[in-house]
């Protein structure tokens, strides 16, 4: 039995997507998600093979002030051979070589002992909420949300950076490119951005707002759209207002994960203002 770990290439994306889908038991294909993350950090993804067969993957997005570990996955047929640990050790070594000071991830109960073994500590909880399709919002479409435009990206990045704790312009641009009609923004009377939300096909997020009232305006706009499933929202437990808002609009908690950190002394982002992460993989 020979395990090999190498950098991931574009030609590996379909195999990696299949591994992620199988490892997490997701009811839809994750290949496009892997492709997006690889395009955002082409040098930050690894593929593990077992006797030449692709069986594992992991990646990281280095935002500068901190990095996010993405989609550590081992195919169910190849688990319990130390492949997950080997992948984590390699990606952590890559981040160390880049002098990344803090590394974040969201861990399942199954994965948390592995991360603790590598020096990660728990900072918060991350909650996954899911909304059944066909449920109407308690309130109708609220006034105040506008469609986000490509020209808004510089202002959006300036608004988002102090809350997220890093500049993720490339991430926001990537989601906006998917479908500009599914991205919304709120502004104050002076025209300054006060919140935004991207409505993905299965998820709501990234979603950030200064106040719960602005977050609800954005949510009402998003829920007017069709979704392939759900949608789901990945919510920091630190944001009690987000939890109350989602429950009021028919979302129910599906599962809880540990928000873990390696390095530094505190979470670098303002999680109480984050209503929805982009995903469990990239924050």
Q: How confident is the model at residue 67 (pLDDT cuts 50, 70, 90)?
A: very high
Using CA atoms, how far apart are residues 79 and 73, in angstroms rounded to an integer? 9
Q: Are residues 96 and 163 in the same domain?
A: no
Q: Are residues 133 and 183 in the same domain?
A: yes
Q: What is the pLDDT of residue 27?
A: 83
Q: Are residues 66 and 170 in the same domain?
A: no
Q: What is the pLDDT of residue 221?
A: 95
94-124 burial by CB neighbour count: b if 16+ within 10 A, else e?
bbeeeebebbbbbbeeebbeebeeeebeebb
Using CA atoms, how far apart are residues 118 and 72, in angstroms rounded to an integer? 14
Candidate from 20-29, 132-141, 258-267 with smallest mean pLDDT = 132-141
Q: How confident is the model at residue 230 (pLDDT cuts 50, 70, 90)?
A: confident
Give the number of other Cβ atoms within 10 Å of residue 31's Cβ.
16
Calculate the average pLDDT of the chain.
94
Domain boundary among 84, 101, 118: 101
**Domain enclosing residue 69, as ranges:** 3-101
- Checking if the pLDDT of 178 tops 90, the result is yes
Using CA atoms, how far apart are residues 126 and 257, in angstroms rounded to an integer? 5
Cα 278 versus chain centre, distance? 4
pLDDT in tens, 184-229: 999 999 999 999 999 999 999 999 999 999 999 999 999 999 999 8
Proportion of the chain above pLDDT 90, given as a percent: 90
Q: Within a domain: residue 109?
A: no
Q: Are residues 155 and 229 in the same domain?
A: yes
Q: Within a domain: residue 117?
A: no
Q: Are residues 96 and 186 in the same domain?
A: no
Q: Are residues 79 and 138 in the same domain?
A: no
Q: Are residues 34 and 97 in the same domain?
A: yes
pLDDT in tens, 236-257: 999 999 999 999 999 999 999 9
Q: Within a domain: residue 283?
A: no
* H-helix or E-strand spanning residue 77: none
Specify the CATH number for the domain of residue 61.
3.40.630.30
Q: How confident is the model at residue 150 (pLDDT cuts 50, 70, 90)?
A: very high
Q: What is the pLDDT of residue 136?
A: 54
pLDDT in tens, 108-129: 998 999 999 999 999 999 999 9
Q: Are residues 136 and 216 in the same domain?
A: yes
- Checking if the pLDDT of 139 tops 70, the result is no
Per-position DSSP letters for 44-68, written without gaps between them: SEEEEEETTEEEEEEEEEE-SS-EE
Q: Within a domain: residue 270?
A: yes
Residues 6+ apart with CB under 8 A from 108: 257, 258
Q: What is the pLDDT of residue 135?
A: 58
pLDDT in tens, 34-65: 999 999 999 999 999 999 999 999 999 999 99
Q: Are residues 154 and 268 in the same domain?
A: yes
Q: Are residues 10 and 97 in the same domain?
A: yes
Specify the CATH number for the domain of residue 226.
3.40.630.90
Q: Are residues 89 and 137 in the same domain?
A: no
Q: Within a domain: residue 196?
A: yes
Q: Within a domain: residue 122?
A: no
Q: Are residues 136 and 256 in the same domain?
A: yes
- Total number of domains constituting the chain: 2
Q: Is residue 139 a contact partner of residue 217, using CB atoms and an 8 Å limit?
A: no
Q: Read off the pTM.
A: 0.94
User: Three-state SS for 237?
Assistant: coil
């Amino acid at each position: 039995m020979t395990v090999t770990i190498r950098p991931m290439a574009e030609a590996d994306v379909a195999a990696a997507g299949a591994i992620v889908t199988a490892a997490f038991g997701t009811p839809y294909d994750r290949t496009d998600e892997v492709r997006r993350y690889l395009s955002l950090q082409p040098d930050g993804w690894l593929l593990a093979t077992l006797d030449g067969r692709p069986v594992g993957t992991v990646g990281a997005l280095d935002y500068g002030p901190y990095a996010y570990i993405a989609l550590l996955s081992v195919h169910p047929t190849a688990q319990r051979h130390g492949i997950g640990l080997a992948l984590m050790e390699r990606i952590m070594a890559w981040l160390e070589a880049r002098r990344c000071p803090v590394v974040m991830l969201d861990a399942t109960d199954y994965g948390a002992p592995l991360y603790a073994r590598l020096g990660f500590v728990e900072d918060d909880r991350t909650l996954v909420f899911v909304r059944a399709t066909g449920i109407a919002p308690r309130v109708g479409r609220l006034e105040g949300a506008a469609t986000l435009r490509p020209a808004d990206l510089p202002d959006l990045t300036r608004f988002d950076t102090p809350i997220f704790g890093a500049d993720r312009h490339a991430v926001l641009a990537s989601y906006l490119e998917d479908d500009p009609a599914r991205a919304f923004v709120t502004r104050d009377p002076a025209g300054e951005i006060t919140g935004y939300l991207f409505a993905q096909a299965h998820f709501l997020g990234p979603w950030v707002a200064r106040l719960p009232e602005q977050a609800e305006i954005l949510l009402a706009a998003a829920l007017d759209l069709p979704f392939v499933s759900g949608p789901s929202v990945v919510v920091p437990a630190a944001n009690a207002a987000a939890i109350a808002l989602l429950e009021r609009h028919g979302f129910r908690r599906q599962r809880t994960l540990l928000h873990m950190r390696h390095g530094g002394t505190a979470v670098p982002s303002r999680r109480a203002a984050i209503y929805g992460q982009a995903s469990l993989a990239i924050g």
